[in-house]
Structure 1
Amino acid sequence: MLMRGVLNRQQALLFDIDGTLADTDALHLEAFNAVFGPYGHVFDRARAARELLGRSNASIGAEFLPNEPPERRAAIMAEKEAVFRSLAAGAVQPLPGLMALLDRAAAASIPVVAVTNAPRANAELILEGLRITGRFSAVIIGDELPHGKPHPLPYLEGLRAAGAVPDRAIAFEDSRAGITAATAAGLVTVGMRTNLAHDALIAAGASLTAAAFDEPEVLALVAATLEGD
């Protein structure tokens, strides 16, 4: 077992934020429809899970606003994120079992890192809303890197920030793009069933799926990966 108070720099837990730490994707859907509706795009949750969630704002803007100049695309995406933040302020709740898992990591001095394609303002709002900002040793933002998810670079940066190696770390994700990024970085990945069903998450590359962080399979994986010899 890991010793309390000893920093285990080879191990880490890495979390996506939206749809993983908290089920915020219905709020994103509402914001997308409010801002993208005038441009002829209307999304239901299934379409959003297929075409939007987990992707970088740059790639979304390029696909759905191809006739807008880059500066206008960026402004439209910024408007969407502002609408999302207004909806999410004070309205986010952690997925079941999250706090206990973070407590377990803290007790073992295992670094915890957030890895997201969301803008930093969104990430900070959600972490602050959940009152877990101080739990994370780093917050990696895909749009601040040369490549966001589904490229593995955000997770490679997360591992670097934690001083961790892939085979002693676990990623938690809810989107196809996120799972693709995490598995390409060599991480065993848990697919959280907030938007996609079990089969879709497994097809994307998740090793197992869960609706909560305290499900037996998740706890067994944590024990085997982080606490095994």
Structure 2
Amino acid sequence: MHPRSGAALLFDIDGTLADTDPLHLEAFNRTFEPYGHHFDKARFALELQGKANEAIARRFVPDLSPEQQMAVMAGKEQLFRDLAGTEIHAVPGLFELLDLADASGLPMAAVTNAPRANASLILDGLCIRDRFRALVIGDELAHGKPHPLPYLEGLRLLGADAGLSVAFEDSRTGIASATGAGLRTIGIRTSLAHPDMIAAGASMSADRYDDEALLRFIAAIVERLEVVASS
């Protein structure tokens, strides 16, 4: 089936395609405990989740030089990759939704603030790299999330219209980026609760991709496109 004109699905990676947040939490704690910081799940969701490494380093190791800060963050990311090597699991229902998108002619992009090595590890670990027409890395752009640029770039690469497309996110930072780009956003509740996601700007939230309300949301988009195509 040909891609449907203007419509697309855009996904964050960490905590959205795969429930990797517990691994990031462990890696952050191992990395920052020597500097006097410890994070529980709530603090992780508020202060770390979805944020760019440069911003995290400036906040939590401000006395280090920029080069030393990024060395600390590089060590954290390597530790995450070591932990994730055998522990990557898709959010339930993901593969079925990807199949639905392909069958409906909806192109997809992955949009992340994670380093490219992390993104590749997760996409390859789930064997879904080829499902995405575009991969956008926030650190490789002039601005990462929460700036809208990563999602605007994803839309550009897909030739998609924000008003016809949907983003999936798990963090406040990511929701701000997606909604700032004009996308309706569905929150995936791997870390944040429903009220937090709605307060951040999500249109709805779900624990998993086979949630009935989520599937109805996507089916309504496909139905509207079919009406437009036949008119």
* Shared fold, TM over 0.5: yes
Task: Please give the alpha-carbon distance, in whole angstroms, between the structure 2 residues aligned to 1:139 and 1:227.
Answer: 27
2:125 to 126, 129, 132: 129
TM-score by length of 2: 0.96
Pairing of 1:102-181 with structure 2 (within 5 A): 102-181=98-177
Q: Which residue of 1 aligns with 2:68?
A: 72
Moved over 6 A (4+): none
Equivalent position amino acid for 2:117 in 1: A
Q: 1:190 aligns to what SS in structure 2?
A: strand
Q: Is the 8 A contact 1:167 1:225 kept in 2?
A: no
1:28 aligns with 2:24: yes
Residue in 1 that maps onto 2:91: 95
Q: Note the alpha carbon deviations across 1:60-110, whole angstroms, 9 max, x for none.
A: 011111111000001000000000000001211111110000001111221
Please report how far the alpha carbon of residue 165 of structure 1 lies from its aligned counterpart in structure 2 after TM superposition: 0.2
Q: How many residues align?
A: 225
Q: Which amino acid aligns with 2:51?
A: R
Q: Secondary structure of 2:136's match?
A: strand
Shift of 1:220: 1.1
- SS of the aligned residue for 2:64 comes to coil
Q: Which runs of 5+ in 2 are unaligned?
A: none
* Aligned counterpart, 1:213: 209
Q: Secondary structure at the match of 1:227?
A: helix
Q: Residues 9 and 162 of structure 1 are in contact (CA less than 8 Å); yes or no, is this contact kept in structure 2?
A: no
CA distance in 1, matches of 2:117, 2:65: 24
> Which residue number in structure 1 is paired with residue 36 of structure 2?
40
Distance in 2 separating the partners of 1:87 and 1:110 = 33
Q: What CA distance in whole angstroms lies between the structure 2 residues aligned with 1:226 and 1:91?
A: 34
- Does residue 69 of structure 2 align to residue 55 of structure 1? no
SS where residue 130 of structure 2 aligns? helix
The alpha carbon displacement at 1:201 in A equals: 0.5
2:32, 2:222 → 1: CA distance? Answer: 43
Task: String of CA shifts for 1:4-24, please: whole Å, max 9, x gaps.
Answer: x21224111000001100110
Task: Name the Cα RMSD after superposition.
Answer: 0.8
Runs of 5+ unmatched residues, structure 1:
none
Question: Which whole-Å CA distance do the structure 2 matches of 1:9 and 1:129 have between them?
Answer: 31
1:182 aligns with 2:207: no
Give the Cα–Cα distance (whole angstroms) in 1 for the partners of residues 31 and 52 of structure 2: 17
TM-score, normalised with respect to structure 1: 0.96
CA distance in 1, matches of 2:214, 2:61: 39
The sequence identity of aligned pairs, in percent, is 58
Matched-pair contact (CA < 8 Å) for 1:176–1:201: yes
- In 2: Cα distance, 1:184 partner to 1:215 partner: 25
SS where residue 82 of structure 2 aligns?
helix
- The answer (yes or no) to whether the contact 2:104–2:222 under 8 Å persists in 1 is no
Residue 195 (1) aligns with residue 191 (2): yes
